[in-house]
Chain A
Amino acid sequence: MMANPLESLADEQVPLEVHDLTVAYQKRPVLWGIDVKVPPGQLVGILGPNGAGKSTLIKAAMGLLPVSGGWVKVFGRPVKEQLKRIGYVPQRESVDWDFPVSVMDVVLMGRYGRLGLFRRPGAADRDIARACLEKVKMLPFADRQIANLSGGQQQRVFLARALAQESDVYFMDEPFAGVDAATESAIIELLHELRNRGKTILVVHHDLPTARNYFDMLLLLNMRVVAFGKTEEVFTYDLLQKTYGGRLTILSEVAEAVRQKS
């Protein structure tokens, strides 16, 4: 599929290489023998039914989960050594939004990885955080407590925090889940801008119809890699049917999405 352009790249130029990755929860495998090699400067959508292991894949790729086999390399080196080049947008529900911190405090957390242990963020970090908030149009909210934000605003704050990490590879877990239309288009615009600056972005996504327009490449996942390649090559009825199996409602959604494409 994308093998040819990648062959000319040296290992340290490949943003993400996952080889034979297997993850099991209590001996029940969730991901089997995943092989993915992502070329630089791509916006990749990870699609698959519920329980396909989408979130598990990105968490395992960042080294957050114990793996039963295989390895992950980021720019040619083990992921543990490359954490500074990784940015992460977790699912919105993963934190307590009543926590007594301001929007600015949360975005500054994006700088913590670069600061290292026990060093406090300084004026330069604050400037970067402010610039990131400006990018997601949340600067006027910098001093608000995070509890007073809408879902879309919370997602923008998380995105600003990831931007403040100044990474080369971004992992995003359902950044479009439960956000308003304005936020969705703002986020996708931002992702395209990041991609154009040469960053590699992997996005767990759940909405089939928009997936076709949003992403350069798609990774169809259902415990194994069903297909990985350019969107126009992968977004076919057969492959989507293979990914989503016999789930009828989704199948009709697939048919509709493919019909719109042709």
Chain B
Amino acid sequence: MQRSLLDFCRSVAAWIRGGLRLWVSALGLIGWLLVLPTVQAAKIGNVSESHWWGQALRFGSLADPSVRYALAGAVLLGLACGLLGAFLVVRQMALVGDALSHAVLPGVALGFLWNASKDPVAIFIGATLAGLLGTLTVSAITRTTRIKEDTALGMVLAGYFSLGMCLVTRLQKLPTGNQSGITSFLFGQAAALKPADLWLMGIVCALVTGIVVVAYKELLLVSFDPVFSRVCGLPARWFDHLLMVLLAFSVVISLQAVGVVLVSAMLITPAATAGLLTDRFHRLLPLSALLGVTAGIMGAFLSFLGSNLPTGPLMVLAASSGFGLAFLFAPRRGIIARWWREKSQSHRIARENTLKAVFHILEEAEFRSDVVSLLQLADRRRITLKISEREARMLVSHQLATMGADEASLTLTPAGWQRACEIVRNHRLWELYLTQAAQIPPDHVHDDAERIEHVLGADAVRELERRLSFAKYDPHGRPIPSLADLRRGGEKAPRPTTVAGYGK
């Protein structure tokens, strides 16, 4: 026992060492960029073709029946796991999937023992029963004691899995043990799939898809608001049990290809990825299934390229790479999109601050001229001439200002003038509002207004104006730019110094 556990640890370590390389190749494949030397290095064992592309061609041609079986298995399990995983993830039951998948192992071993051969039906029955028994154990623990669900799940997961490991090692010592291929149930080997396995997978997959399609409405309501579903007359508990049984079925049919250890990732990862891409369940569900199928195909393909590698980790790596891509590049929630939004917002604020500085300079000169030199701007903003030049160019590139012929002065365009007026008006309105409505002393309001001025929308400004009864001066006695100023645009005529505020 000790020795085989040691072997087990060693093989895990070997897989982890191999993992780095696998990451690279999985990533590369998903981006359709196969890294040639990496894949060649990963290719070991009894491969008849000498080049990776030859292997890929063999895979693509589907001439090899074992390729067809592996591919069909991967598609079926990706579909079933993707669909049910979506429910698990939105119900915050990801750990339940993990516990269930580990709890099936003793059942797998006993299924083997039943007639000392790999009979898919015996294994299916044994594994399903063990998995359901595991979830029943969890609910028995949480109902009768004060132990919380996560603790119960963790204990049951480990307990059942340990029992399963003991049984499996015992099995391997039996005369028939070694050729029985029970180790493929630990880490998965899609190439070991037989037509009988595929029949079982096909039936379960059809069952899962059929039920999810027919009872979509019921499963959605039971997942979102179980109490309300009972007021609607739905047998909520019955649907919960149905979901659990389907889950157990899907886990069990996936064992052969993905393995006990990793099958929960095929439930969770595609659904979590889909969750990054959409926030509507009716889109999340098919997307999760599609991602599951894609990960399954990728895993089968990569496993075929390096033919001795287990399928399970490769499928999960493919699914994880998908998640990584979505995490980075998702159109709205990806970190790159978010970074881009934040960056463009900070650029906009920088531009608006420059516009404001130009306005202040013009205002100090009582609007006698509409040209501002970059030196003045640098002085006003307390920045170097070089930076003020860069800021000026930013305005020019956004058509907010034009540069003088000497490249040392700046004139606002009508759009720039309007935006500058708006910002200054927002700032001064907000200062006035804070001093009047919130009784904040005038020397405390500037910093707050510096932030608010960039985010006040048109509606909020109208509301402020109404509440301040269209005031003309800010708390520091400076005029608040009026609508007339905004419309004045690029008029060259000097602005009368006394004119300010609204009401004309």
Give chain A's interface residues, CB within 8 Å of chain B.
Answer: 59, 62-64, 83-84, 86-88, 90, 94-96, 99-102, 105-106, 109, 112-113, 115, 117-121, 145, 147, 161, 165
- Bound complex: CA of A31 vs CA of B90, how far in Å? 35
| Contact call A101/B280, Cβ cutoff below 8 A | yes
25 pairs, CB–CB < 8 Å, chain A vs chain B: A64-B230, A64-B231, A88-B231, A94-B225, A96-B92, A96-B224, A99-B90, A99-B281, A100-B278, A100-B284, A102-B280, A105-B220, A109-B224, A109-B225, A109-B228, A112-B232, A113-B231, A113-B232, A113-B234, A117-B215, A117-B218, A118-B214, A118-B218, A145-B279, A165-B232
| Contact call B280/A90, Cβ cutoff below 8 A | no
| Contact call A86/B231, Cβ cutoff below 8 A | yes
Q: Which of B215, B231, B279 contacts A100 (CB 8 A)?
A: B279
Question: CB of B275 within 8 A of chain A?
Answer: yes
| Contact call B281/A101, Cβ cutoff below 8 A | yes
Contacts of A121 on B, CB cut-off 8 Å?
Answer: 217
| Contact call A101/B230, Cβ cutoff below 8 A | no
10 cross-chain pairs, A with B, having the tightest CB-CB distances, nearest first: A113-B232, A83-B233, A88-B231, A145-B279, A100-B279, A100-B281, A112-B232, A95-B225, A99-B224, A109-B221
- Bound complex: CA of A147 vs CA of B231, how far in Å? 24
Contacts of A86 on B, CB cut-off 8 Å?
Answer: 231
| Contact call A90/B281, Cβ cutoff below 8 A | no
4 further contact pairs, Cβ within 8 A, besides A83-B233, A84-B233, A96-B224:
A96-B92, A100-B275, A100-B281, A101-B281
- Bound complex: CA of A83 vs CA of B280, how far in Å? 29
Question: CB of B142 within 8 A of chain A?
Answer: no
Nearest Cβ distance between residue A100 and chain B, in whole angstroms? 5
Question: CB of B413 within 8 A of chain A?
Answer: no
Nearest Cβ distance between residue A59 and chain B, in whole angstroms? 8
By secondary structure, the B interface counts as: helix
Contacts of B215 on A, CB cut-off 8 Å?
Answer: 117-118
Which B residues, 217 to 264, have Cβ-Cβ distances below 8 Å to chain A? 217-218, 220-221, 223-225, 227-234
Q: Contact flags (1/0) for B279-322 with A, using CB distance below 8 Å? A: 11100100000000000000000000000000000000000000
Q: Which of A100, A117, A119, A120 has the most CB of B within 10 A?
A: A100
Q: Which of B216, B217, B230 has the most CB of A within 10 A?
A: B217
| Contact call B225/A118, Cβ cutoff below 8 A | no
Nearest Cβ distance between residue B242 and chain A, in whole angstroms? 12
Residue of B nearest to A147 (CB): B279
Nearest Cβ distance between residue B345 and chain A, in whole angstroms? 19
Q: Which of B217, B221, B224 contacts A120 (CB 8 A)?
A: B217
Nearest Cβ distance between residue B44 and chain A, in whole angstroms? 43
Contacts of B217 on A, CB cut-off 8 Å?
Answer: 112, 115, 118-121
Contacts of A109 on B, CB cut-off 8 Å?
Answer: 220-221, 224-225, 228, 232
Contacts of A100 on B, CB cut-off 8 Å?
Answer: 90, 275, 278-281, 284
Nearest Cβ distance between residue B131 and chain A, in whole angstroms? 26
Nearest Cβ distance between residue B69 and chain A, in whole angstroms? 34
Residue of A nearest to B275 (CB): A100
Contacts of B281 on A, CB cut-off 8 Å?
Answer: 99-101, 105
| Contact call A113/B92, Cβ cutoff below 8 A | no
Contacts of A63 on B, CB cut-off 8 Å?
Answer: 230
Q: Which of B224, B228, B231, B275 contacts A101 (CB 8 A)?
A: B224
- Bound complex: CA of A85 vs CA of B233, how far in Å? 11
- Bound complex: CA of A105 vs CA of B281, how far in Å? 10
- Bound complex: CA of A90 vs CA of B231, how far in Å? 10
Contacts of B224 on A, CB cut-off 8 Å?
Answer: 95-96, 99, 101, 106, 109
- Bound complex: CA of A94 vs CA of B231, how far in Å? 14
